Structures are given as structure tokens and as C-alpha cells.
Amino acid sequence: MASFPPEPVKVLIVDDSASARAMLRAIVETDPGLCVLGAAPDAFAAVKMMKLELPDVILLDLELPGMDGMTFLKRIMAQRPIPVVVCSGFTAGGSDQSVAAMEAGAVDVILKPQARNEQARMEAQVRICDALRAASQSGGRRPVQAAVRAPGAKLSADEVLPPPNLSKPIPVTEPIVVIGASTGGTEALRQLLVALPPDAPAIAIVQHMPPGFTAAFARRLDGLCQVRVNEASDGVMLRQGEVVIAPGDHHIMLRRLSGGYRVTVADGPYVSRHRPSVDVLFRSAATAAGPNALGIILTGMGDDGARCMGELRASGAHTIAQDEASSVVYGMPREAVRMGSVVQSVALDRMAAAIMGFARRHRTGVQA
């Protein structure tokens, strides 16, 4: 029996700027797996379009006339949840609003594209189309056909730092946790970090987010959690009870210093089509921490982190993937499992206990 490719993901664009609607439409229409169902200038026009046909994903600007985007989002989530990707401008207020939107049910946030040059347009195309595809999967759709990608090779962590020397012994240190996440990760991280006690081991996180948004995300988490949460800064020392989140558009890496770890924040090329990249963080942890580390890969589309989680495991680290049932998008965890990089899969509501269990076993082994 012949098999047919799935129908394209239907996208409804909601933005009050005619030029932004035109640019977003042009970007979405470059991808054969996506189609534009309509482009609305405000929430009221969007509602009329949705009465005729429901989209698979809504691409939503929060700054709308009449009914603002946040109110519209909350009504969607209360009445008929549809995956929503927030498309926000790069402002402090926009960053805080976008974080609040994800708490209200949006699955992802992307930066409104700037048509500075062709390269910027192509990078925006990849980010936006990937976000829409991932959001559609969070709504229960099957993956659509392969995406159109920007020209150029998909770069590995080799572009930023060399592979770890797995034969080189690594001294025992305090336990360290490294976490990677993408679509659905903001809510997963909130649930995970809120459940941790104040004496949790030091944690470094890569969450795929645009520049400027990670600081607002870290501030929000810091106000909710018993652990302290900050956006990572170059040279900061990782300490027990503290969490750092990679700043958007920068890689973070660990380097060992005596019995602890410092963070390096660096520019550089996109790795696995991301900056920050989970692969870069995981490779640095394999090199610097080895068996002192716990690597965790959470919900997200694509394969960033899967390969270098294998290096982490080979270095003696313990590795965990979020299980399929609790993942918004079981992409990154699936790839890590498929590559043999994962020691165990764990439900999100058991992840905090797994972290504390790892820290307890590690410290007991050191004392013994």
C-alpha cells in the first residue's frame, strides 16, 4: 500500500506589522513541510480565520492592538489549546513578556527576524521553520518531511574545542550537572529546578533561546527556586546550590580549576545549528569533569547534544534522557538514546531525585 507524506503544517501568523507579516510569510513558505493558513493583523482577525479552519501552529506577536497577544494566548490555552510560538522583538520588556508567555502555555519563543543581509535571513529561516515544526509535534502531529536548510555544512563541536582525551585520568571533584534542552525545555527546566533543594550540586544549562531572553528566564527561575539561578558570565565559578544558564547566542564550556569548575562564555560558529549548543557544553564536561559529571538531555527537536553525550558517557559520566511520555518533543532525547549515549531514561517528575541521588552516590564514593 502506497504511503503518502504527511500534510504540511498549517501556520497562522498573527502580527500587527504588515512588513513583519510579509517577511514571516515568505520565510514559512520556503519550507515544503509548512504552509501559511493565514496572516492576521490582530487577535480578532485571527479568531475569524480560526472559525473557518484551525491551524496546527500559531506564530504570535505579543504586541497587538485591541486584544494583546498575552490575553489571546491565554484564551487559546483555556478554550482550545493550539501550539503557539511567540515571535518577539529584542527588548527587555519583550523578553520578560515572552518568558511569561511560555509559562502561560507557549511552546517556544523566537526573535523577530531582521533583514540585515542574506545570511541573517537564511539563519532566521532555519530557526523559525525549526521552531514551527517542533511546535507542531508538541500538538501531537507526526513529523513532517525533511526541512529545507540554510546552505553550508552542519558543524560539529570540533569547530569550537577538540575531542576529549578519554585516556587521560580526571581527578575527583565535587559533582557537576550539565543539562541541554530545546522546545518545551523552559517549562521542563522550571519543573525540574523548582523541585531541587538548596544543596543541589552545581548545574550548567544550555536552553535554546534567542539572545536577551535567557537573562529574563534566569531571573524568573531564580524567583521560584531554592537554588540560585543566573545567566552565565565568563569566568564565573560554579558552586553547590547554584545554576547557570548559557546566554542566548553564546556557547558555554566548563574548565576545571582545582576541585571545582569555571564557566567560559564564548562566541563561535553554530554547532549542530545552534549557539549555544548542547554538544559544546557536553564535550567540555567530558574533557573537564568526566566521571564527576551527570549529563541530562531534555525535551527538544533535532539532535543537538546527542553525539557529545556519547563522549560524556565514554568519559565515565552518568547520562540521563527525559523519557518520551514526559517530553513535549521527544527528538533530542530520542537521538541520544538511539546513538547509545544514554545510561537511563527518566520521567521529568523523577529528574530532581535522580540528580540528588547521583550527587549523594558521588560524594559517598569520594568519602569512602
Which position among 88, 98, 182, 345 bears the catalytic label?
182
Q: Is residue 146 part of a domain?
A: no
Q: In whole angstroms, what is the distance from residue 262 CA to residue 253 CA?
A: 8
Q: Are residues 119 and 184 in the same domain?
A: no
**Spatial distance between the Cα atoms of 51 and 44, rounded to a whole number of angstroms:** 11
Cell 480578532 belongs to which residue? 44
Name the β-bridge partners of 108: 85
111 inside domain: yes
> pTM of the predicted model, to two decimals?
0.89
Q: Which residues, including other chains, have CB under 8 Å from residue 349's CB and lie 6 or more apart?
A: 191, 195, 326
Judge whether 156 lies within some domain.
no
By CB neighbour count within 10 A (0-12 exposed, 13-18 middle, 19+ buried), where does 76 fall?
buried
Length of the chain: 368
Distance CA 5, CA 7 (A): 7
Q: Is 274 a known active-site residue?
A: no
C-alpha distances (whole Å) from 51 to each of 12, 48, 55, 80 are: 12, 5, 10, 12
Is 251 one of the catalytic residues?
no
Q: What is the mean pLDDT of residues 199-228?
A: 94
- pLDDT higher than 70, residue 135: yes
Flag whether 161 is in a domain. no
Nearest to 98 by CA among 112, 117, 77, 114: 112
Please check whether residues 128 and 175 belong to one and the same domain: no
Q: What is the pLDDT of residues 239-272, one digit of tens each?
A: 999 999 999 989 999 999 888 999 999 999 999 9
Instruction: Please tell me the distance from the alpha carbon of residue 313 to that of residue 315, in angstroms, as a whole number.
Output: 5
Active site residue 19: no
Among the candidates 121, 138, 155, a domain finishes at 138
For residue 95, what are the domain limits?
9-138
The CA–CA distances, whole Å, from 324 to 47, 299, 330, 347 equal: 33, 8, 5, 8
pLDDT value at position 2?
Answer: 47
The confidence score (pLDDT) of residue 1 equals: 46
For residue 58, the domain's CATH number is 3.40.50.2300
Closest listed residue to residue 329, CA positions, set 185, 209, 187, 186:
185
Q: Are residues 35 and 132 in the same domain?
A: yes
Distance between CA 275 and CA 266 in Å, rounded?
10
The catalytic position among 61, 208, 272, 274 is 208
* Residue 134 and residue 107 in contact, taking contact as beta carbons nearer than 8 Å: yes
Last residue of a domain, one of 90, 121, 138: 138
Contact 59, 158 (CB under 8 A): no
Cα separation, 98 vs 178, in Å, equals 25
81 and 216 belong to one structural domain? no
97/212 same-domain check? no
How far apart, in whole angstroms, are the C-alpha atoms of residue 140 and residue 101? 21
Asked if 89 and 207 sit in the same domain, the reply is: no
User: What is the domain-level CATH number for residue 227?
Assistant: 3.40.50.180
Contact of 217 with 103, CB cutoff 8 Å: no
Q: Angle 336-337-341 (CA atoms, 0-180°, nearest 5)?
A: 60
Identify whether residues 186 and 313 lie together within a single domain. yes
Q: Which of 98, 304, 326, 341 is catalytic?
A: 304
- Mean residue pLDDT across the chain: 90
What is the predicted pLDDT for the residue at 116?
Answer: 64
Asked if the model's pLDDT at residue 31 lies above 70, the reply is yes
Q: How far is CA 265 from the centre of its chain?
A: 17
pLDDT of residue 145: 47
Over residues 223-231, the mean pLDDT reads: 97
For the chain, what is the domain count?
A: 2
Query: Is 157 inside a domain boundary?
Result: no
Q: What is the average pLDDT across 203-214?
A: 92
Predicted local distance difference test score (pLDDT) of residue 5: 59
- C-alpha to C-alpha distance for 246 and 205, rounded to whole angstroms: 6
Could you report the per-residue pLDDT of 155-171, keeping only the tens digit for each? 899 999 999 998 999 99
